[in-house]
Amino acid sequence: MSRHTLFGGAYALAFFAFLFGPLVIMATTAFNSSRFPRVAPWECFTTGWFGELFGNARLMEGLMNSVIIGVGVVALAVPIGLAGALALSELPPKLRSMLYTVLILPILIPGVVLGISTIVLWGQITRGTGAGFLYNGYFLTIVGQITFVSAYAMLVFIARLQRFDATQTEAALDLGATPGQAFRKILLPFMAPAIGSAAFITLLASFENYNTTVFTVLSESTFTTALASKVRHGTDPSLSALAVIIITLTLVGALTNEAYQRRKEAEAGGRASRSPLYANPVTRALTHPGIVFAILVTAIGGITYAGSQYDSSVCEAAVLQEKLDRQEELRAEQRARIEAQEAEQGVTVPKPDSAFGGAFGGVGTPAAPAAPKPESPSAFGGAFGGITAPKTEE
Amino acid sequence: MPDQTPDRIPDRSVLLDHVSIRFGNFTAVDNANLKINSGEFFSFLGPSGCGKTTMLRCISGFSEPTEGKVLIGGKDMAGVGPNKRPTALIFQHLALFPLMTVAENIAFPLEVRGVSKKERRKKADELLDMIALPGIGDKKVSELSGGQKQRVAIARALAVEPDILLLDEPLSALDLKLRQHMRTELRAIQKQVGVTFIYITHDQGEALTMSDRVAVMSRGVIEQVGEPDRIYNRPRSAFVASFVGENNALQGVIKGQSGDLAALETPMGTFEARVGGGRKYKAGDEALLFVRPEQLIPCATENTFQATLSRQEFEGATNHVFAKAGDTELRISMVNAGLAGSLPGQGESLSLGFAPMNGTILPVGHMASES
Ligand SMILES: Nc1ncnc2c1ncn2[C@@H]1O[C@H](COP(=O)(O)OP(=O)(O)OP(=O)(O)O)[C@@H](O)[C@H]1O
Ligand SMILES: [Mg+2]
C-alpha cells in the first residue's frame, strides 16, 4: 500500500469518526442503565430507556400534535408550492425572477420573526373577525410553518418542472384534451415523484421545526418543543433511545430507497443491470425494495420484541448493591476516623444517635442494604428506584 | 377548383386569408395568403427561422394571427382553441408521452373524449396495424426506434380523426435511409386516409418528392406556391431560384425584352433568356440570370461562352464540374457517359451554352445563402 492510500484511508476514517462518532456514542448510551447518558462506566445493558421514552406523557402528546400539524402542513404546503412553481413557469422571465425572490424570502427570514408575526397577525385577524376559535396552537403552527415550508416544496417542484417539456402539454391539448385533462393526465404524473419528495421534505421540515413553532404553538407543545424543554431540565438516556429510533427509521428508509433506485437503474439498463445480484433469481428477488423493507422491518420487530423481554433488574440490583457496599465501606472508614478522633479527645457519643445514622438509613442496621429491593426503606433505595421504573410496563 | 367535392366528404381545406404574425416588432409571418385544398399534401419549404413553425402553430390554434384570418373547412377559426380544431399536429420532436405505453399514447385522444377502455385498445391496435407495427402496444415509448416513434406519433395524431394533419419537420431527427423510407410511407398513409397533410421542412428533397404543392418561404414571406416541378423550373424570385436546387447566378443589365424573352448583358457576354414570373423590364434594369448546372451544356449552339475548368467532383452518375468564366465560378453537372464518353481535363477550356428557355431572368433580390 502506498503512503497516499494509507493517508487517504486514515483521513476517511477520521472523517467518518467525526461524522458518525457522536451518533454511535449516543446510540450506545441508550442501552446503558446509568442514569446519566454515558458509555463509561458501563453499568448494565438495558432496554428500559425505550420504555421510559414511551412512558413520557408530555413527549407522546407532543408527538401526536406534531403528527396532526405535520399532516396539515403537508396537505396545504404541497399544493401551494406546486401552484407557485407552476405560476413561476408561466411568467415572462423578468417577472419570474421577481416573484421567485418574493416566494423564497420566507426561507431567509429568521423563524423567530415568522413565529412572532404569525401570532400577531392572526391574533388581530381572529379577534377582528370573531373567529377566536382559530386562535389555537394547531392552527397558528400550521399557518406559521406553511409560510416557509411551502417555499421548500416550491423549490422541489421548480427543479422538476425545469425538466418538463412544455410541448407535452401542447400535444395533449392538440389531441383534444381540455387544459384540466392535460394537467391531470400529463403534468401531474410527471410531477408525481416530486410530489412524493416534497411531501416528505415538508413533513420533516414541519416536524423538526423549533424556532417558529415554539411561538405559534402557544400552550400546546409539539414533539420538538417538548423535547427541547425536557433537555432544558437535564438530559437522560431516554433521549438517546429516541435517537436510536430515529437513526433506525432513517436507515430503513435509506436502504429501501437505495434498493429501489438500484432496481430502477437496472431496469433502465444502467451499470447496475450488470451486477450479478440481478442475474440470480433468488438474490434478484431478495433485493426487491419491498422484500428489503419487509426483511428490515421483521428484523427490527424481532429485536424490539427481544429487547422488551429483556430484564436487566438483576444486573441493576447488583450494581446498586455494589454502590451501596462502596458507600458502606466509605462510611465505615469515616466512622473509624471519627472514633479515633473521639478517642483522642476522650468524648463518647452513643452510636444510634450518630448524625450520619439518620441520613444513611441507620448505621445500626447493617443488614438492610443487603436487601437488593428498591422498596428498601433506605434513602438510597428511593433515589435509585428510578432505575427499575422502565420495567414497570412488564 | 379541385375541392368541389360531394357533400358527404368533409371540407378539409385551409385558407390563410392575409395572415400576419408578429412578436413585438418582429414579423415572423408576413401577409400569407393562400388556399390549401382538401386532401392535398402541401409543404412549406424554407430555411431555418423563416417562420414555418410559427405558421403551423397558428393553423393548429396555439397562437392567433396578429392580422388576417385562418379558415378551416370554410369556418373562421378565430377564438377556437387547439383542442377544438379539426387539426392534429405532429411536433418537431414528436412529444410522445414517455410515461404511457405505445397503446396509451395512441389512444390518448380517445381517452380524453371518454371512450371506454376496451374500445380504445381496439382502435389503438387498428392504428398500429395501419402503421405496420402490430403488437407493440404494450411497449414503452423509450423502447422504440426513431422510425417507430415517428410512426406512433402519426398513429396518435390520426386517432383524433383530424381533417388536417400538420407535420413539423417530423423526419429531421432520422438518418438518411430511414428518412427516405418514411417519405414513401408518409405519402402512402396520406393517400390511404385522405386527410389534408400540411408538411413543414427545410429539406427541399422532402418537399419536392412528397408534395402535391409547395410553398417556399423566406423571412416570413411566402415567395412562391406551386407544384414541385414548377417551383424548380419556373422560380419567380431570386430566393426560390437559389434555395431550391443548385443554380448559377449571373448579374447583368437588361438590354431589351420581347415577349417572354429578354437580353441581358453580363461581364461574360450578352445572353437571351426567359423572363421569370412574366415580368416586364426596361432597358438598363439590373437583373439576375439563373441557369441550372445540368442545363449548362458543352457544344451548345445558343448563348455560348468560354470557360476554364478549375476542378471537378466525381459522384458516380454525375460529374460536378466547376469552371471559371471571367470572375464568375460556374457549376456544371455532366452525366457520366461511361467509358464511351470522355471527361474534360484540368485547366481545359470549355465551350458552354444553354437554351434561352432554360435560363431565367429574375429581379435582383436576396439569395438563399444570405438568408
Ligand atoms: N414566441 C416567440 N417570440 C418571439 N419570437 C419568436 C417566437 N417564436 C418564434 N419567434 C421568431 O420567429 C422566427 C420564426 O421562427 P419559427 O420557429 O417559425 O422558425 P422555423 O421556420 O420553424 O425554423 P426551424 O426550421 O429552425 O424550426 C424566428 O426568428 C424566431 O426567433
Ligand atoms: Mg420549426
Same domain, residue pair A289 and A167: no
Q: At what angle do helices A289-309 and A48-55 cross, to 10 degrees?
A: 100
Tell me whether residue A338 is in a domain. no
3-state helix, strand, coil in chain B (%, to 5): 30, 35, 35
Q: Mark whether A85 and A174 lie in a shared domain.
A: yes
- Whether the bond between B293 and the residue before it is cis, its omega within 30 degrees of 0, is no
CA distance A156 to A74: 14
Cβ contact B83–A171 (<8 Å) = no
Interface check for A184 against chain B (CB to CB < 8 A): the answer is: no
Would you say residue A102 lies in a domain?
Answer: yes
Would you place residue A126 in the very low, low, confident or very high pLDDT band (cuts 50, 70, 90)? confident
Helix (H) or strand (E) holding B155: helix B146-159
Contact predicate A167/B93, CB 8 Å: yes
**Which amino acid is residue A153, in one-letter code?**
A
pLDDT of residue A269: 65
Tens digit of each residue's pLDDT (9 = 90 or more) over B140-192: 998 898 888 988 998 999 898 899 999 998 888 778 888 888 888 888 888 88
pLDDT, greater one: A373 or B80: B80
Determine the Cα–Cα distance for residues A214 and A306; give it in Å rounded to an integer.
38
Residue B250: predicted pLDDT: 92
Examine the domain organization and report whether A118 and A246 are in the same domain.
no
| Cα gap B92→B213, rounded to integer Å | 21
Cell of B172: 429531421
Residue-level pLDDT at A317 = 86
Domain boundary (A235, A261, A293) is at: A235
CA atoms of A65 and A59, how far apart (whole Å): 10
CA distance A276 to chain B (A): 24
d(CA A50, CA A352) in angstroms, rounded, equals 43
The predicted pLDDT at position A361 comes to: 42
B157 touching A (Cβ < 8 Å): yes
- pLDDT score of A273 more than 80: no
Q: Does ligand 1 have an atom closer than 6 angstroms to the CB of B25?
A: no
Of B249, B248, B272, residue with least CA distance to B262: B272
Instruction: Mark whether A147 and A266 lie in a shared domain.
Output: no
Set of chain B residues whose Cβ sits within 8 Å of the Cβ of A168: 95, 97
Q: Look at residue A213 and tell me if it is in a domain.
A: yes
pTM (global) more than 0.80: no
| Any domain includes A128 | yes
SS3 assignment for B302-368: CCCEEEEEEEEEEECCEEEEEEEECCEEEEEEEECCHHHCCCCCCCCEEEEECCHHHEEEEECCCCH
Of A340 and A368, the structure prediction assigns the larger pLDDT to: A340
**CB–CB of A178 and B112 under 8 A?**
yes
Q: Most confidently modeled of A275-279, A384-388, B234-238? A: B234-238
Task: Decide if A173 and B95 are in contact by the 8 Å CB cutoff.
Answer: no
Residues A139 and A193 in one domain: yes
Whether A334 maps to a domain, the answer reads: no
Shortest Cα distance from A174 to chain B (angstroms)? 5
For residues A352-381, give the mean pLDDT.
43
Is residue B97 in contact with ligand 1, taking CB distance under 6 Å? no
Query: Per-residue pLDDT tens for A131-182?
Result: 777 788 889 999 999 999 999 999 999 999 999 998 999 999 999 999 999 9
Domain boundary among A310, A331, A355: A310
C-alpha–C-alpha distance, residues A215 and A140, integer Å: 9
For chain A, how many structural domains are there in total?
A: 2
pLDDT for A270 beyond 70: no
Q: Which range marks the domain in which residue A249 is found? A: 237-310
* CATH number for the domain formed by residue range(s) B246-363: 2.40.50.140
Q: What is the pLDDT of residues B41-65, one digit of tens each?
A: 999 999 999 999 999 999 999 999 9
Contacts of B314 (CB under 8 A, 6+ apart): B320
Amino acid at position A243, single letter:
A
pLDDT for position B370: 53
- Tell me: do A101 and A153 sit in the same domain: yes
Based on the fold, state whether residues A254 and A227 are members of the same structural domain: no
Residue A376 lies in a domain: no
Here the CATH number for the domain that contains residue A53 is 1.10.3720.10
Predicted local distance difference test score (pLDDT) of residue A365: 42
Nearest to A175 among B88, B93, B99 (CB): B88
User: Per the domain annotation, does A241 fall within a domain?
Assistant: yes
pLDDT tens for each residue of A297-337 = 999 999 888 888 888 788 888 888 888 999 999 999 999 99
Percent of chain A topping pLDDT 70 = 86
Cα of B53 from ligand 1 centre, angstroms: 7
Q: Is B161 on the interface with A (CB under 8 A)?
A: no
Q: Residue A366's pLDDT is what?
A: 44
Most A-contacting residue of B108, B115, B123, B164 (CB-CB within 10 A), to test interface: B108
B21-27, long-range: CB < 8 A, 24+ apart: B21/B51, B21/B54, B21/B55, B21/B58, B21/B63, B21/B65, B21/B66, B22/B66, B27/B220
The single-letter code of the amino acid at A246 is I
- Claim to verify: residue A115 and residue A249 sit in the same structural domain: no
pLDDT value of residue A372: 44
Q: Tell which of A279, A310, A341 closes a domain.
A: A310
CA B235 to CA B224: how far, in whole Å?
A: 8
Q: Is the pLDDT of residue A272 over 80?
A: no
> Which pLDDT band, with edges at 50, 70 and 90, does A362 fall under?
very low
A72 & A161 share domain: yes
* Same domain, residue pair A135 and A228: yes
**What confidence score (pLDDT) does residue A377 get?**
43
Res. A380 pLDDT band, cuts 50 70 90: very low
Question: What is the mean pLDDT of each successive set of 10 residues along chain B, which is 371 residues long?
Answer: 54 92 93 93 93 92 93 91 91 91 94 91 90 87 88 90 91 82 87 91 90 94 94 94 92 91 91 90 92 89 89 86 88 84 77 92 85 41
| Whole-number average pLDDT of chain A | 82
Q: What is the pLDDT of residue A1?
A: 55
C-alpha–C-alpha distance, residues B100 and B105, integer Å: 6
**Apex A29 CA angle, A26 and A32, nearest 5:** 170
The string of pLDDT tens digits covering residues A19-46 is 989 888 888 888 888 888 888 888 888 8
SS3 content of chain A, % helix, strand, coil (to 5): 80, 0, 20
Residue A107 lies in a domain: yes
Whether A134 and A274 share a structural domain: no
Nearest C-alpha neighbor of B321 from the set B337, B307, B332, B336: B332
What's residue A350's pLDDT?
Answer: 52
Asked if residue A388 has pLDDT above 50, the reply is no
User: Is B109 within 8 Å of chain A by CB?
Assistant: yes
Domain edges within chain B: 14-233, 246-363
CATH class of B14-233: alpha beta
